[in-house]
Amino acid sequence: MAKKANRDLLLNGNMVRAILSLAIPVVINSFLQTMYNLTDTYWLGRLGTEELAAINLVTPVQNIVINFGSGITVAGSVLIAQYLGAKKDEEARSMANQIFACAMIFSVVCAALVAVSTPSIVTWLGAEGAVWQHSRTYLQLVILDMPFLYIVNMYAAINQAQGDTVRPMFLNLFGIILNMFLDPVLMVVFHFGAAGAALATVSAKAVPAVAAFFLLHNTSKDVYLNLKKLKFEKEKLKSILVVGLPTAIGGSTMQFGFLLMSRNVFKYGTQAMAAYGIGNKVNGLITLPSNGIGSAVATIVGQNVGARQYERAEQGYKLSAKISVVFLFIGGIILSRGPVSTAIVSIFSDDTDVIRMAADFLSIMALWCFTNGVYNSSMGLFQGSGHTEVTMIIDASRLWVFRFATLFVCEAWLHMGVRSVWYSVVVSNAISAVLLWIVYKTGYWKRKRG
């Protein structure tokens, strides 16, 4: 059976094949998720710089909520993988029920709170006039997709824990095709502007979410939902908290740092804000392979730690890191060339100043993106082994210590202007990658989780 073959591959099969079989669908899936924002960015860029700046200004707010909740999905994927590695399938199914219920409660509560607080948030970010109006409209509508997003994310997490990353990929493919159709219809044909971008995203996530909910009840899988038998268990909830809370805190504090970075960029003007958003989104595409390999590492390490195969878990991590670094180094060299970066960012804006700044930002990030290979693989190692306290500390430090310290030095001492933001990103990423590698060398990831 396919599900037994997946487990055998992760625990005993060829490691390169195991990494690629997990990573490639995750990369494609992540690309499809990214396309939601890129499609919005493209069409908003056609409408004007103010609309583009507005969506870039408030996107970190949405990401704060998503990343805090990601602690639940990361915990689910890791704990289910460890149960499967230990051949405790019934415990894995019980954990899936607990995780799903927690994710749904969280998403509904957070969506309601953000929707109510949006006007105050946008004002605090410094938006005024048309940018304020576009930002408020977009955020209040797009945050309503949270329950749908979490259903799809839980489907991906539960399947990934079983070594299946292909089905979530196809589910997201349908969503992005729907979004690509709805964006121009709602934004351009019906002239809904930023509201159209938000409504298109919510609609395009609602349909796959309904499909994912029914697929999660497929009893032919090792792990499936049976909410009729849902009974909260103290020990499992404690495990979710121990593994998930550090990821939630690390991810959300990192995104809150991004929010403050957006506020800092906005002082350089609407065009700088638009350029910052474009550069970040394109850089997200560049590092997708590294993110996918990091997810593969978490699953491979999770199952092998559950089976007490620490040497094989380490083999998967080291091989993954090498693949990521080589790929990103070669790709980064190509994309950092001025004509290439300019051609790419020109897709999203026709404003000369925006293109110039965004191309400069992208060139700098692309040249140093190979450090993400070490960063993402190492994050996968510590997540898979259940030591998410390490990822929490590094995530928080990357923004709140390394990035803001570099930003201060570049602005106050070196007087680099908006380029201070660009360099603060690459320097903080590099420092975090080095620190994760050092912690890995101590062997801390092998310690039994308390």
Reference 56, options 116, 134, 114; nearest CA is 134
The chain-wide mean pLDDT, for the chain, equals 87
Q: What pTM, to 2 d.p., does this model score?
A: 0.75
Collapse the DSSP code of 404 into the 3-class scheme (helix H, G, I; strand E, B; otherwise coil) and give the result: helix
Q: How many domains does the chain have?
A: 1
Residue type, 358: A
Q: How confident is the model at residue 8 (pLDDT cuts 50, 70, 90)?
A: confident
Q: How confident is the model at residue 36 (pLDDT cuts 50, 70, 90)?
A: low
Collapse the DSSP code of 171 into the 3-class scheme (helix H, G, I; strand E, B; otherwise coil) and give the result: helix
Neighbours of 118 (CB within 10 A): 20
Residue 422 pLDDT: 93
Among 103-112, 263-272, 384-393, the range scoring the smallest mean pLDDT is 263-272
Residue 5 pLDDT: 56
CB 196, CB 187: distance < 8 Å: yes
Torsion from C-alpha of 423, 428, 434, 440, nearest 10 degrees: -150
Q: Which residues are within 8 A (CB) of 450 and not within 5 positions of it... i.e. 6 or more apart?
A: 242
CB 393, CB 245: distance < 8 Å: no
Q: What DSSP designation does 15 have?
A: H
Q: Which helix (H) or strand (E) holds 379?
A: helix 371-384
Q: Which domain holds residue 438?
A: 2-446
Joined tokens for residue 299: 């699953």
Task: Express each pLDDT in 207-246 by its tens digit.
Answer: 999 999 999 998 888 888 888 777 888 888 888 888 888 8
How many whole angstroms separate alpha carbon 206 and alpha carbon 34? 16
Neighbours of 338 (CB within 10 A): 11
Task: Express each pLDDT in 66-96 by its tens digit.
Answer: 877 777 888 877 888 888 888 888 888 888 8
